[in-house]
Structure formats: structure tokens, C-alpha cells
């Protein structure tokens, strides 16, 4: 049996090649232009805007609504969210005229099996994120060929070097706010008259699940209050590619 040429083994996937082409074309594009390009690339009904309705979510959702308010928006209710986040989801949905916001949840059997006492966030935060965020989103993304998220390079860590468009397993992943600075973001909120998340005024700069979110101290990175002192900086949805094949049903 002849050996497979190394070039064939290392060849990028069609999705990776397409992502690289789109990234080159959109490297200096505005957020609205990137969202519009995402719609053209995969089609409105095959594109998901994934939003936490957190501290900085309104900007991305406004750009999406301006392009097409019927783009599906996926909101993951982990069962540990602040009540203020749920209220903000409803208020922002109405304010922006979003027409297809889909709230998804973790699998009940997985929660009963692995987190019946609701203390997994303390004993194993990585596994808690896996069953409450990563796995539910992976299942939901089976119905989509591309997704949009609100990460920014100024948030630091691995995000500081992310592309505008990435290959995420079998899907395209769009980062319309990658190039936006913190100053730009503040200006966008003012210019577009966007309401802030209710918890921002009380010192929460990045808002996730209630047990693993704390206020940010003066001078700290915006995400310093997430999983404080746990040696953890991401929930996993932006680290582990969503490799479940896209559904064509």
C-alpha cells in the first residue's frame, strides 16, 4: 500500500479554505458588512447569531437586526443565569425588533445525571460548562452552516489574535466585532442609543452564569470577573470546534 502524500494529509478542508478567503475579503470590513456577508455566504436561515444577551451583546444584535431582523438568534439559558439577563433578553428583543430569538437549554437527563445537586460549577467548572453550554450549543448548531458571535480582540487571551472569519469544524464562524476597540464599542452604544445590561452599572463588565461571575475591580481586564481564581478563561464554546455535521433536514 502506498503512503498518503503528506501534502494531502495537511491540505485544508473546503470550509477552512472558504473561511480564509472570506477573512481576507472582510479583514477591514465594518461589523454590519461582515454580518451581511455572513448572510450571503450561508443564507439567512442557515446562519445563527449566538448571543448571551450579556454586557456587550446589544451592539452585535443591533447590527444583525439592521441587516435582517429575522436572522435566527440563539440564546442559551444555562439554568444559572441572572434574572436580569433574562429580563434584558426580552427587553432587547422587543427594542431591536428581533423576530426569531430561540432560547435553548441543557439536556435534562445530563443535568439529572451529572449535576443533580447543582454544585458542579464549584467542583468541576469545565464539566459544568460542557453540559450546560458546549453540548446544547453543539446540538443546536447542527441546523446551521455558519454562526456569528460577539467576541472582540481587545478582550485579550486567545481572542486577541482571532480572525474575522474562522472555520469551526464544518461551519463558518464570523466575528463581526473582532476589530472593534473598547472605545469604539462605547461610542456605538451612544450613537445607536442602546440600553446597557442592568448589571453593568453595578460593576459587572462581563456577565455569564451567576455562580461564576463577579464584579470587575478597577484596572482589571473586562473578563477578570469570569471564573475568578479558577484558572479558567473560556466556557469552551469558543475553544472546542463544533464538529457535529451540519444537518440538511
| Domains present along the chain, CATH in parentheses | 14-202 (3.40.50.620)
Show Cβ contacts of residue 103 under 8 Å, excluding neighbours closer than 6 positions: 75, 76, 77, 89
- Looking at residue 239, what is its pLDDT? 63
For residue 10, pLDDT over 70 is answered with no
Contact at 8 Å (CB) between 174 and 147?
Answer: yes
pLDDT digits (tens, 9 = 90+) for 13-70: 899 999 999 999 999 999 999 999 999 999 999 999 999 999 889 999 999 999 999 9
129 in active site: no
* Alpha-carbon distances of 80 from 44, 109, 132, 233, 244, rounded to whole Å: 30, 17, 9, 18, 25
For residue 11, pLDDT over 80 is answered with no
SS3 sequence of 170-201: CEEEECCCCCCCHHHHHHHHHHCCCCCCCCHH
Cross-strand partners of 146: 47, 172
Residue 166: helix, strand or coil by DSSP? strand
| Mean pLDDT computed over 210-232 | 85
What's the CA gap between 149 and 188, in Å, rounded?
17
pLDDT digits (tens, 9 = 90+) for 159-209: 667 899 999 989 999 999 998 888 888 898 999 999 999 999 999 988 999
* Sign, Cα dihedral of 54, 60, 62, 64: negative
Pairing, β 171-174 against β 165-168: antiparallel
* Alpha-carbon distances of 93 from 9, 48, 248, rounded to whole Å: 45, 15, 28
For residue 246, pLDDT over 70 is answered with no
Nearest one of 171, 163, 98, 97 to 138, comparing CA atoms: 171
- Looking at residue 12, what is its pLDDT? 74
Contact at 8 Å (CB) between 195 and 92?
Answer: yes
What's the CA gap between 55 and 81, in Å, rounded?
13
Per-residue b or e along 198-236, where b marks 16 or more CB atoms closer than 10 Å to that residue's CB = bbbeeebbbbbbbebbbebeeeebbbbbbbeeeeebbbb
pLDDT digits (tens, 9 = 90+) for 73-101: 999 999 999 999 999 999 999 999 999 99
- Looking at residue 95, what is its pLDDT? 96
What's the CA gap between 32 and 163, in Å, rounded?
16
pLDDT digits (tens, 9 = 90+) for 106-160: 999 999 999 999 999 999 999 999 999 999 999 999 999 999 998 888 776 666 6
- Looking at residue 245, what is its pLDDT? 41
Catalytic residue among 129, 209, 212, 235: 235
- Looking at residue 161, what is its pLDDT? 72
- Looking at residue 44, what is its pLDDT? 97
Which is more confidently placed, 35 or 9? Answer: 35
Amino acid at each position: 500500500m502506498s503512503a498518503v502524500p503528506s501534502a494531502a494529509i495537511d491540505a485544508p478542508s473546503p470550509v477552512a479554505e472558504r473561511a480564509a478567503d472570506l477573512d481576507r475579503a472582510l479583514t477591514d470590513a465594518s461589523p454590519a458588512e461582515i454580518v451581511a456577508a455572513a448572510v450571503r455566504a450561508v443564507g439567512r436561515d442557515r446562519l445563527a447569531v449566538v448571543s448571551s444577551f450579556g454586557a456587550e451583546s446589544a451592539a452585535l444584535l443591533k447590527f444583525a437586526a439592521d441587516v435582517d431582523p429575522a436572522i435566527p438568534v440563539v440564546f442559551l439559558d444555562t439554568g444559572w443565569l441572572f434574572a436580569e439577563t433574562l429580563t434584558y433578553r426580552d427587553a432587547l428583543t422587543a427594542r431591536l425588533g428581533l423576530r426569531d430569538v430561540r432560547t435553548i437549554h441543557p439536556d435534562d437527563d445530563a443535568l439529572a445525571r451529572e449535576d443533580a445537586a447543582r454544585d458542579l460549577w464549584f467542583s468541576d467548572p469545565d464539566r459544568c460548562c460542557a453540559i450546560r453550554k458546549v453540548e446544547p450549543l453543539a446540538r443546536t448548531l447542527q441546523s446551521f452552516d455558519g454562526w456569528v458571535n460577539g467576541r472582540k480582540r481587545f478582550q485579550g487571551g486567545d481572542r486577541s489574535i482571532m480572525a474575522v472569519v474562522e472555520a469551526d469544524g464544518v461551519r463558518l464562524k464570523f466575528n463581526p466585532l473582532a476589530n472593534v476597540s473598547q472605545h469604539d464599542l462605547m461610542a456605538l452604544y451612544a450613537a445607536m442609543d442602546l440600553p446597557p445590561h442592568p448589571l453593568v452599572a453595578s460593576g459587572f463588565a462581563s456577565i455569564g452564569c451567576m455562580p461564576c461571575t463577579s464584579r470587575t475591580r478597577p484596572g482589571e481586564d473586562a473578563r477578570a470577573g469570569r471564573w475568578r481564581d479558577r484558572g479558567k478563561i473560556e466556557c469552551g464554546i469558543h475553544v472546542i470546534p463544533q464538529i457535529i455535521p451540519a444537518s440538511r433536514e
